[in-house]
Amino acid sequence: MKNFEKMEYGFGQHLILDGYGANREKLMDIDYIYSFLHKYPEDIEMTKIMPPYVFKYYAPTPEDWGISGFVIIAESHISIHTFPEKLYLSVDIFSCKPFNVDRAIQDITEMFEIQKSEIRLLDRGLEFPRSIRAVENFMRLERKNFVL
Protein backbone atom coordinates (compact mmCIF):
# COMPACT_ATOMS: atom_id res chain seq x y z
CA MET A 1 0.00 0.00 0.00
CA LYS A 2 1.34 3.43 -0.97
CA ASN A 3 1.55 6.40 1.34
CA PHE A 4 -0.32 9.33 -0.12
CA GLU A 5 0.32 12.86 0.96
CA LYS A 6 -2.68 14.13 2.90
CA MET A 7 -4.65 16.63 0.86
CA GLU A 8 -4.99 19.93 2.64
CA TYR A 9 -7.69 22.40 1.77
CA GLY A 10 -8.65 25.88 2.86
CA PHE A 11 -7.40 29.28 1.81
CA GLY A 12 -7.25 30.95 5.20
CA GLN A 13 -8.85 32.54 8.21
CA HIS A 14 -10.90 35.72 8.25
CA LEU A 15 -11.23 37.39 11.63
CA ILE A 16 -14.13 39.83 11.88
CA LEU A 17 -14.15 41.98 15.01
CA ASP A 18 -16.90 44.50 15.84
CA GLY A 19 -15.90 46.63 18.83
CA TYR A 20 -18.22 48.72 21.01
CA GLY A 21 -17.41 51.31 23.66
CA ALA A 22 -13.98 51.97 22.17
CA ASN A 23 -11.79 54.98 22.94
CA ARG A 24 -13.27 57.91 20.98
CA GLU A 25 -9.97 59.80 20.72
CA LYS A 26 -8.24 56.81 19.12
CA LEU A 27 -11.16 56.19 16.76
CA MET A 28 -10.95 59.75 15.44
CA ASP A 29 -7.15 59.92 15.20
CA ILE A 30 -6.17 59.33 11.58
CA ASP A 31 -2.48 59.04 12.56
CA TYR A 32 -3.30 56.37 15.16
CA ILE A 33 -5.27 54.37 12.59
CA TYR A 34 -2.44 54.73 10.05
CA SER A 35 0.11 53.60 12.64
CA PHE A 36 -2.01 50.56 13.53
CA LEU A 37 -2.20 49.50 9.88
CA HIS A 38 1.48 50.30 9.30
CA LYS A 39 2.85 48.35 12.29
CA TYR A 40 0.35 45.57 13.00
CA PRO A 41 1.11 43.28 10.03
CA GLU A 42 4.64 42.79 11.36
CA ASP A 43 3.29 42.15 14.87
CA ILE A 44 1.35 39.15 13.55
CA GLU A 45 4.19 38.05 11.25
CA MET A 46 2.58 39.18 8.03
CA THR A 47 4.22 40.92 5.08
CA LYS A 48 3.01 44.41 4.21
CA ILE A 49 3.33 44.95 0.47
CA MET A 50 2.11 48.55 0.27
CA PRO A 51 1.70 51.48 2.63
CA PRO A 52 -1.68 51.72 4.36
CA TYR A 53 -4.41 53.78 2.74
CA VAL A 54 -6.38 55.74 5.35
CA PHE A 55 -9.00 58.43 4.87
CA LYS A 56 -11.63 60.36 6.79
CA TYR A 57 -15.22 59.95 5.69
CA TYR A 58 -17.84 62.64 6.22
CA ALA A 59 -21.28 61.05 6.11
CA PRO A 60 -24.56 62.78 5.23
CA THR A 61 -25.60 62.08 8.83
CA PRO A 62 -22.95 63.91 10.92
CA GLU A 63 -22.65 61.27 13.66
CA ASP A 64 -21.80 58.61 11.05
CA TRP A 65 -18.45 60.17 10.10
CA GLY A 66 -15.34 58.10 10.67
CA ILE A 67 -12.01 56.87 9.48
CA SER A 68 -11.48 53.92 7.18
CA GLY A 69 -8.28 52.28 6.13
CA PHE A 70 -6.71 49.14 4.83
CA VAL A 71 -3.36 47.63 4.15
CA ILE A 72 -2.63 44.95 1.60
CA ILE A 73 -0.41 42.21 2.95
CA ALA A 74 1.14 39.38 0.95
CA GLU A 75 -1.19 37.07 2.84
CA SER A 76 -4.33 39.17 2.01
CA HIS A 77 -5.46 42.31 3.91
CA ILE A 78 -6.30 44.12 7.14
CA SER A 79 -9.06 46.73 7.18
CA ILE A 80 -10.62 49.04 9.77
CA HIS A 81 -13.64 51.33 9.86
CA THR A 82 -14.28 53.64 12.82
CA PHE A 83 -17.37 55.56 13.95
CA PRO A 84 -16.06 57.85 16.73
CA GLU A 85 -19.43 59.34 17.66
CA LYS A 86 -20.81 55.86 18.20
CA LEU A 87 -17.64 54.49 19.91
CA TYR A 88 -17.64 51.66 17.36
CA LEU A 89 -15.11 50.08 15.02
CA SER A 90 -14.90 47.08 12.73
CA VAL A 91 -11.65 45.31 11.96
CA ASP A 92 -11.08 42.50 9.47
CA ILE A 93 -7.93 40.42 9.20
CA PHE A 94 -7.95 37.99 6.30
CA SER A 95 -4.88 35.83 5.81
CA CYS A 96 -3.91 32.71 3.90
CA LYS A 97 -1.16 32.27 6.51
CA PRO A 98 -2.21 31.03 9.96
CA PHE A 99 -2.04 33.67 12.68
CA ASN A 100 -2.76 33.78 16.40
CA VAL A 101 -6.40 34.86 16.37
CA ASP A 102 -6.66 35.07 20.18
CA ARG A 103 -3.65 37.38 20.30
CA ALA A 104 -5.08 39.57 17.52
CA ILE A 105 -8.39 39.90 19.39
CA GLN A 106 -6.56 40.80 22.60
CA ASP A 107 -4.23 43.26 20.85
CA ILE A 108 -7.02 45.11 19.06
CA THR A 109 -9.19 45.16 22.19
CA GLU A 110 -6.33 46.71 24.19
CA MET A 111 -5.19 49.13 21.45
CA PHE A 112 -8.64 50.63 21.02
CA GLU A 113 -9.84 50.07 24.61
CA ILE A 114 -12.88 48.11 23.42
CA GLN A 115 -15.47 47.43 26.14
CA LYS A 116 -17.54 44.81 24.31
CA SER A 117 -17.02 42.94 21.06
CA GLU A 118 -18.60 40.57 18.60
CA ILE A 119 -16.15 38.11 17.07
CA ARG A 120 -16.57 35.96 14.00
CA LEU A 121 -13.94 33.67 12.56
CA LEU A 122 -14.49 32.31 9.10
CA ASP A 123 -12.55 29.59 7.33
CA ARG A 124 -12.37 30.89 3.77
CA GLY A 125 -11.92 28.87 0.59
CA LEU A 126 -12.61 25.48 2.14
CA GLU A 127 -11.99 23.70 -1.16
CA PHE A 128 -8.87 25.67 -2.05
CA PRO A 129 -6.02 23.14 -2.56
CA ARG A 130 -3.19 24.06 -0.18
CA SER A 131 -0.75 21.58 -1.69
CA ILE A 132 -0.52 21.39 -5.46
CA ARG A 133 1.60 18.22 -5.23
CA ALA A 134 -1.13 16.50 -3.22
CA VAL A 135 -3.71 17.51 -5.84
CA GLU A 136 -1.48 16.17 -8.63
CA ASN A 137 -1.08 12.84 -6.81
CA PHE A 138 -4.82 12.63 -6.18
CA MET A 139 -5.61 13.35 -9.84
CA ARG A 140 -3.11 10.70 -11.04
CA LEU A 141 -4.71 8.13 -8.75
CA GLU A 142 -8.20 9.12 -9.93
CA ARG A 143 -7.16 8.81 -13.58
CA LYS A 144 -5.64 5.35 -12.97
CA ASN A 145 -8.83 4.19 -11.33
CA PHE A 146 -11.07 5.62 -14.02
CA VAL A 147 -12.14 2.84 -16.38
CA LEU A 148 -14.24 3.38 -19.51
Residue 2 lies in a domain: no
Catalytic: which of 68, 77, 96, 131? 96
91 forms bridges with which residues in the sheet? 17, 80
Catalytic: which of 81, 95, 117, 131? 81
Report the distance separating Cα 79 and Cα 115, nearest Å.
20
Residue 75 lies in a domain: yes
Q: Please indicate whether residue 76 is annotated as part of the active site.
A: yes
- Report which of residues 134 and 22 the model is more confident about: 22
Evaluate whether 89 touches 82 at the Cβ level (below 8 Å): yes
Q: State the pLDDT confidence band at 8, using cuts at 50, 70 and 90.
A: very low
Q: Rg of the Cα trace of the chain?
A: 20
Residue 104: pLDDT above 50?
Answer: yes
Evaluate whether 64 touches 85 at the Cβ level (below 8 Å): yes
Residue 117 lies in a domain: yes
Domain region containing 35: 12-127
Catalytic: which of 76, 77, 90, 117? 76
Q: Please indicate whether residue 14 is annotated as part of the active site.
A: no
pLDDT at 2: 37
Going by C-alpha positions, the residue among 106, 85, 84, 104 that lies closest to residue 93 is 104
CATH code for the domain of 45: 3.60.90.10
Residue 74 lies in a domain: yes
Q: Sheet containing 116-124: which strands, arranged edge to edge? A: 53-57, 66-73, 76-83, 88-95, 12-20, 116-124
Looking at the structure of the chain, the number of domains it has is: 1
Rounded (10°) CA dihedral 39, 59, 122, 49: -30
Residue 59 lies in a domain: yes
Residue 110: pLDDT above 50?
Answer: yes
pLDDT at 6: 36
Q: State the pLDDT confidence band at 131, using cuts at 50, 70 and 90.
A: low
pLDDT at 130: 64
Residue 84 lies in a domain: yes
Evaluate whether 83 touches 89 at the Cβ level (below 8 Å): yes
Residue 129: pLDDT above 90?
Answer: no
Residue 136: pLDDT above 70?
Answer: no
What are 34-92's pLDDT values in tens digits? 999 999 999 999 999 999 999 999 999 999 999 999 999 999 999 999 999 999 999 99
